[in-house]
Amino acid sequence: MDGMMNATLRDTVVLGARVIDPASGHDTIADVLIQQGRIADIGLGQGAPEGAERVEGQDSVLCPGLIDLRVQLGEPGREDRETIKSVTRAAAAGGITSLCALPDSAPATDDPALVRALIARGEETGSLSILPYGAVTRGCAGEQMAELGLLREAGAIGFTDGGRPIGPARLMRLVLSYTCGFGGIVVQHPEDRSLADGGCATEGELATRLGLPAIPAAAEAIQVARDIALARLTGGRLHFAHVSTGAALDLIRAARAEGLRITCDTAPPYFDLNEIAIGEFRTYAKLSPPLRAEADRRAVIAGLADGTIDAIASDHQPRDADDKRLPFALASAGGTGLVTLLPITLAQVHGGTLSLLRALELLTAGPARLLGLETGRIAKGAPADLCLFHPDRAWKVEAGKLPGKAQNTPFDGRAVEGRVTGTWKAGRRVFG
Amino acid sequence: MRHLLAIEGLSPRVIGDLLNLAESYALLNRSGKTQRDRLRGRTLINLFFEDSTRTRTSFELAGKRLGADVINMSVSTSSVKKGETLLDTAATLNAMQTDLLVVRHDQSGAPNLLAQKVEAAVINAGDGMHEHPTQALLDALTIRRHRGKLEGLTIAICGDVAHSRVARSNIHLLNAMGSTVRVVGPPTLMPSSIAALGVSVFHDMAAGLEGADVVMMLRLQKERMSRNLLPSSREYFRFFGLDAQKLAYAKPDALVMHPGPMNRGVEIDSAIADDPTHSVISEQVEMGVAVRMAVLDMLARPPAAGAVGGRH
């Protein structure tokens, strides 16, 4: 399959782009030669081999293809919301070349056959690696442990119940402990359910004014604190998804200082928006976890800058109009994020809170390191998964006009800077 | 004014205008006369997703006294669960050329959502824990008729503030009109950051009612006990139920109010509820019709410059 596809591949050379490889820290103007699906050479002035496709990279940045830690595919089960085909289009337009698929589909990814099927579906696209998570519990129902070892053997990248927290302490202890046996990573949605159930906004003045059932921000830190204690007890490899509060980040920071193998990610809404976005009952800004107070947004930015947060994931959750055109508490939580992942992250670079190198690390080398992937770097011999973007080109996010099927972006109407102009998957141009 | 979705965001001038108009309707109602030409040929639909005989009847009477064609639609939650969405309902109502739409819904923000999609003027008749604007207006009118003003009065709102749309609308209205507002109740029935809405918070009836001009009681739903917000209704009545002893902390001529329906012996002692020297509970019901006539009248007028519709 690999050889067959590469046989039809033309050599490509990207000329004069600012090449940033966060894995090594290299940041230079260079030409990058792509041959046989891999990066053949990085340098200046060697010129292009005969017959190679030439791509002008002046004023653009060439970085590794983005690796997205959290995506709900819509397939299987909710093809009305999103399909692998439509996700593939949106991912390519967003510079994403690998994505981790959440297991809370219908059926859930709790069977090795489904893991294999998803990986194969990704390979069929020719433009996107789908890295499936396995479910922690059967049906992601939170009760009986799924066949974690078999899921792992089939290629599951890690284990999570998606948007559902792994609730009982005993279950979490056993899962962390069992996965230690083969080095699996357990990804938690950090939210204490007894505090969060029925809630749809962060507790505080705004939720009180709107009369919405609320979730105290502490629901996150409470779950994080317990799980850190269980990671300490078991030696398990624990990762917290879409961390959104300063209190949780403080706990994670301290646990890492102690030497525990704990990592975390966040998603663009949590450093770009605060709870005010839900004002007037805007259901497109209804997310899980809910948007937080401004102080927490700032704490997330601090966590991105100081290294507490390892990765930025899109947390892409496709919903259709009917899922959202409901009274706020009844509307489905979640927002799309593939196409906005890079530009919303770049807003922090333009705003001076993150360096470009650090921002791109959070989108490429950071998640690659976390999952032990070969991709996420620009180096001789590495797979040519690449993203070329113009860092300053402005555009406006408009629900209804985004690539992909689902249009439920929480960033509707937002002016952003940074536009992907080319995406390559294993040396093949898949966007631009 | 295009819709009446919330008190929050209404200016004191608009509130004053509504109260003045309602006052004149109260007099008209007492005189036994009607003004059936005001809304002649207009269609008013009472769209109730949550049962409420008294509020629906009050709007129905208000509409009829002004000459509107009034239709009651009760949408049971079961038909909503069958897949008919709020927006399907909106499309139906548009097709029926409704002028005025009164909405009661158990979800906060549902009237706001409808208002985006229907051509009719939307009147919020209570949405979830959010607002109940006409209740606050009728409470204000009742107080004003007894005290001649709202400014400078101390009003204690007591009970389940957390789940109360009546409390929220009253807080916004009374603050806008210059009253001093207190909320009194156990901490588990107080919403987070409620003080930010401009109230002082009390967990003790003696301190909370001290020198109050008005004591406004809120309904306590039985469900609060099953959800562990309170240990029992007996304990609640002991500490927060309004009886003669607790009422004695307020001013000697304090008014006692309740939005109804009352749980006698839970949040209010029957002896107080029926005591004509304090209780204005029946008058609240009477003012309800007058206030709703004023709101319907105001919203049915052709749009004027400087229209206001509240925050939403």
Residue B306: what pLDDT? 43
Which stretch of A168-182, B42-56, B72-86, B107-121 has the lowest confidence by average pLDDT? Answer: B72-86
Inter-chain CB proximity B86 and A326 less than 8 Å: yes
Residue B83: what pLDDT? 61
Using only C-alpha atoms, chain B has a radius of gyration, in whole angstroms, of 19
Inter-chain CB proximity A209 and B165 less than 8 Å: no
Cβ atoms B36, B70 nearer than 8 A: no
Torsion angle defined by CA atoms of residues A169, A316, A180 and A236, in that order, rounded to the nearest 10 degrees: -50
Task: Say yes or no to pLDDT of A232 above 50.
Answer: yes
DSSP three-state, residue B96:
coil
Inter-chain CB proximity A327 and B105 less than 8 Å: yes
- Count interface pairs A-B at CB distance under 8 A: 72
CA–CA separation, B174 and B156 (whole Å): 11
H or E element at residue A123:
helix A112-125
CA–CA separation, B45 and B47 (whole Å): 6
Residue A381 DSSP label: T
Residue A4: what pLDDT? 45
CA–CA separation, A100 and B130 (whole Å): 39
Of B8, B87, B193, nearest to A204 by CB-CB distance is B193
Chain B residues within an 8 Å CB radius of A204? 192-193
Of A209, A216, A329, nearest to B8 by CB-CB distance is A209
Q: What confidence category does residue A3 fall into, taking pLDDT thresholds of 50, 70 and 90?
A: very low
Q: What confidence category does residue A9 fall into, taking pLDDT thresholds of 50, 70 and 90?
A: confident
CA–CA separation, B63 and B240 (whole Å): 37
Residue B312: what pLDDT? 39
With CA atoms as reference, report the closest residue to A144 among A122, A174, A118, A116.
A174
Chain A residues within an 8 Å CB radius of B86? 325-327
Residue of B nearest to A322 (CA): B85
Q: Provide residues of B within 8 Å CB-CB of chain A.
A: 8, 85-87, 105, 107-110, 112-113, 127-131, 165, 168, 191-194, 196-197, 311-312
Q: What is the mean pLDDT of residues B277-289?
A: 97
| pLDDT digit string, tens, across residues A237-276 | 999 999 999 999 999 999 999 999 999 999 999 999 999 9
Task: Say yes or no to pLDDT of B103 above 90.
Answer: yes
CA distances from B247 to B164, B180, B262 (A): 22, 18, 17
Residue of A nearest to B131 (CA): A211
**Does A198 reach chain B within 8 Å, measured CB to CB?**
no
Look at A238 and A183; give whichever has higher pLDDT. A238
A27 carries an active-site annotation: no
Task: Say yes or no to pLDDT of A164 above 80.
Answer: yes
Chain A residues within an 8 Å CB radius of B196? 205, 208
Q: What is the mean pLDDT of residues B111-135?
A: 96
Residue A8: what pLDDT? 66
Q: How far is A406 from chain B (nearest CA, A)?
A: 20
A36 CB burial (10 A radius; 0-12, 13-18, 19+): middle
Residue of B nearest to A194 (CA): B227
Angle between helices A246-257 and A294-306 (to 10 degrees): 30
Task: Say yes or no to pLDDT of B307 above 50.
Answer: no
Q: What is the mean pLDDT of residues A336-351?
A: 98
With CA atoms as reference, report the closest residue to A176 among A230, A242, A248, A241.
A230
Helices and strands per DSSP (H, E), number in chain B: 13, 9
**Does A213 reach chain B within 8 Å, measured CB to CB?**
yes
CA–CA separation, B200 and B218 (whole Å): 17
| pLDDT digit string, tens, across residues B207-254 | 999 999 999 999 998 888 778 999 999 999 999 999 999 999 999 999
Inter-chain CB proximity A212 and B86 less than 8 Å: no
Residue B82: what pLDDT? 58
CA–CA separation, A329 and B174 (whole Å): 28
Strand blocks (E) in A49-206: 53-56, 61-64, 66-71, 96-101, 129-132, 134-135, 159-160, 185-188, 201-202
Residue of A nearest to B80 (CA): A326
Rounded to two decimals, the pTM is 0.94
Q: How far is A212 from chain B (nearest CA, A)?
A: 6
Angle between helices B165-176 and B12-31 (to 10 degrees): 110
Residue of B nearest to A215 (CA): B192
Residue B134 bridge partners (DSSP): none
Residue A10: what pLDDT? 86
Chain A residues within an 8 Å CB radius of B130? 210-212
Q: What is the mean pLDDT of residues A327-333?
A: 96
Quote the mean pLDDT of chain B: 93
Residue B309: what pLDDT? 45
Q: Among B108, B114, B188, pick the best mutation site for testing chain A contact (most A Cβ within 10 A).
A: B108
Inter-chain CB proximity A329 and B168 less than 8 Å: no
Using only C-alpha atoms, chain A has a radius of gyration, in whole angstroms, of 21
Q: Among A194, A200, A208, A284, pick the best mutation site for testing chain B contact (most B Cβ within 10 A).
A: A208
| pLDDT digit string, tens, across residues A286-324 | 999 999 999 999 999 999 999 999 999 999 999 999 999
Residue A102 DSSP label: P
Q: What confidence category does residue B304 fall into, taking pLDDT thresholds of 50, 70 and 90?
A: low
Q: How far is B30 from chain A (nearest CA, A)?
A: 36
Task: Say yes or no to pLDDT of A430 above 70.
Answer: yes
Residues 6+ apart with CB under 8 A from A168: A142
Residue B77: what pLDDT? 59
Inter-chain CB proximity A329 and B128 less than 8 Å: yes
CA–CA separation, B157 and B163 (whole Å): 13
Q: Please identify which of the residues A21, A31, A192, A315 carries the catalytic annotation.
A: A315
Of A204, A209, A211, nearest to B128 by CB-CB distance is A211
With CA atoms as reference, report the closest residue to A18 among A2, A26, A29.
A29
Inter-chain CB proximity A216 and B192 less than 8 Å: yes
With CA atoms as reference, report the closest residue to B175 among B56, B7, B55.
B7
**Does A178 reach chain B within 8 Å, measured CB to CB?**
no
Residue with tokens 């646990």: A255
Task: Say yes or no to pLDDT of B114 above 60.
Answer: yes
Inter-chain CB proximity A209 and B197 less than 8 Å: yes
Question: Which A residues 273-302 touch B at CB under 8 Å?
Answer: 280-281
| pLDDT digit string, tens, across residues A98-142 | 999 999 999 999 999 999 999 999 999 999 999 999 999 999 999
**Beta strand A159-160 pairing with A134-135:** parallel
- By residue count, chain B amounts to 312
Residue A409: what pLDDT? 98
**Does A210 reach chain B within 8 Å, measured CB to CB?**
yes
Quote the mean pLDDT of chain A: 96
Inter-chain CB proximity A327 and B113 less than 8 Å: yes
Chain A residues within an 8 Å CB radius of B6? none
DSSP three-state, residue B256:
strand
